[in-house]
A and B are shown apart, each in its own frame.
Chain A
C-alpha cells in the first residue's frame, strides 16, 4: 500500500472526522498556566498558533537500560499540550518502553535505568525529590489489555477519586467520566454490576473513564485498541478525538492508519544498529501529514509505505 492509495480525511478545524455524526466536542476547560489555549484551534499545523502550545514533555537524549541490555537510545523529542502524539514503529523498538517511562511505570521492572532527562513542565520526572505517586496522578495511563478491577463499574471509576479525598459528588464525577468515555448510555442502568461482565471494548472504555475521572493532565495510551475488534477500535479512536484538547495524549500504536487518523504529530521509532546490537531509537518526529505524506528519513518512508514492519 503506497502513500498515494491512502485516503486521508483532511483534518477539520476541530480534528473530528466528518463521518462521525452526532459527535459533540466536549467543552475544554482551559487549565491554569496555559498560554495560547488549545481550544482556539487544534489544527496540526502549528503555524496557526500565535505561540506554539506549551511543551509538556521534553525528553533529552533519553536512553533506557534493563540491566546491561540497552532498549532505547538517543530519544529527543518534545510533546506538546493538548495534542495527540503517536509513537509508531515495528515491535520491540522501544515505543512502549518510552511511553511507560513518561509516568515512571518502568520503575518496578528490575534493572531499569534511564539516562538523559525527561522534563515534565520543566521538572525532571526522575529527579530526587519526585514523588512517583504524584507523577502518576498527573500523568495517567491506559494499558493495552483492559484491566478493570474486580469491582462494580461504579467502584472502578470512583476508587481513585475516593483515594484522592473526594467524598461528595462522586456520582456526578462517575457519570461525567463515563460520558467522556462514551460508555454512559450503555452502563447507566447497571453501575452496580461487576465490571468484569462488560465486553472487551466496553472494558477498555471503562479503563479510559477510570483514567479521566481524576482529571489528569496527560493521558498515556499503550496500544489501547490492539486487543479489541475493529468496531470497538473505531469507538476508541472517536473517543480520542473527543478527549483531545482536554488532555495531552500520547498514544503508542503499531497500526499506522490509526496514527494517521488520530494523531497531530507522529514519532517513528525503529531499531538502529549501534555497535553490535540493534537498539531502539527515534528516527523521525513531525506532524502526522509530513510523516505519512513526505517523510524525510528513508526508513520512515519504508515503514509507512508498508515495505517492512
Chain B
C-alpha cells in the first residue's frame, strides 16, 4: 500500500496543548454564525411584531365601537344582523361540511386501497389550496346565476367546500392515531366494521374531529370572497334569518365599509374586525386546549 506524502495544510495545524479558544479561522466563522443566528431571531421577532401591530390596531380602533347597541341592533348604529347572518351561514356550512369531511377521512383510513389513497389525498390538497375566489365564482355560476338569486344557503355551500378539506385532513390524522390494538380487538371479536367504526373508532377520534371542525369554522368565518359574490345584496338594518335570501354577514360588511370613504364606517369596521378576531382567537385557543387534553389522554 503506497502512501502519499503527508502534506500538512497550514490551516489545519494546531497545538492541542494550547488553551481551548478559537484558533485559525474559527473566530471569523463564529462571528458569521452569530450574525446569522441574530438574523433568524430578528425574523421571528419581526413576525411576532407584525402580529402584535395588526392585533393592536384592531383592538385599539375597534374597542370604541363595541357596545351593547352595537351588537344587538342593525344599521346604522349596529352590526347585529351581520353577526347573526354569519352565524347562520357558518352554521349551515358546518352541518354540511363536517359529515362529508369525516366520511372522506374514514374512506382514506378504512376503505382506500393503495391506488386510491394517493389520488384522493391529492384531490384534497388541491381543494385545500383552491383560491376562495374561484370557489366563489363556481358557486355563483352553479347556483346564483341559475336561480337569479343570491342566498345565504349558496354561501354556506361555498364555505363548506372550503371547510371539507380541513376537516378531512384533521380527522384523518386523528383516525390514524387510534391505536391498532383497539381496532384489531374489535375485528377479533367478530364485530362488524361499521359497528366498530361507530362505537369505537369515531369516539376515540372525537376530540380531533371537534378540533379540526373548530379550526375550519375559524377559517370559514373570515372568508369574504365567496360571500362577496353570493350573499352581498342585503339590507342589514334588520335581522334577517332566511337562508334562502342573501344574508348580511361580517366579512362582507367589513369589506364594504373598508371600500367606502366614511370614517364612521371605518369605526364600525374596526369593531366588527375586533369581534371577528376575538371569535377566531377563541376557537383557536379552545381547539388547542382540546387537542392537548386529548393528547394527554391518548398517551396515558
Contacts and interface: CB of A to CB of B under 8 A. Distances in A.
A78 to B, nearest CB: 16
The list of the 9 closest CB pairs from A to B, nearest first, reads: A217-B16, A165-B11, A121-B17, A130-B20, A165-B25, A131-B22, A33-B17, A166-B9, A123-B20
B26 A133 contact: yes
Contacts of A33: 15-17
Contacts of B192: none
B25 A120 contact: no
Dominant secondary structure of chain B at its interface with chain A: loop
A179 B24 contact: no
Interface string A138-181: 10000000000000000000000101111011001101100100
Most buried by A among B9, B16, B30: B16
B261 interface: no
Interface string B1-44: 10110110101101111011111111001100000000000000
A110 interface: no
A163 B1 contact: no
B20 A32 contact: no
Nearest to B22: A131
Contacts of A215: 12
Interface of B: 1, 3-4, 6-7, 9, 11-12, 14-17, 19-26, 29-30
B26 A32 contact: no
Contacts, number: 74
A29 B21 CA distance: 24
Given A26-B3, A131-B21, A133-B26, A121 B9 contact: no
A123 B20 CA distance: 7
Interface residues of A, number: 38
Contacts of A176: 3-4, 6
Contacts of A133: 22, 26, 29-30
Contacts of B20: 120, 123, 125, 127, 129-131, 134-135, 138
A129 B19 contact: yes
17 contacts: A33-B17, A120-B20, A130-B21, A131-B26, A133-B26, A134-B20, A134-B21, A134-B22, A134-B26, A135-B20, A138-B16, A164-B12, A165-B11, A172-B7, A176-B6, A217-B16, A218-B16
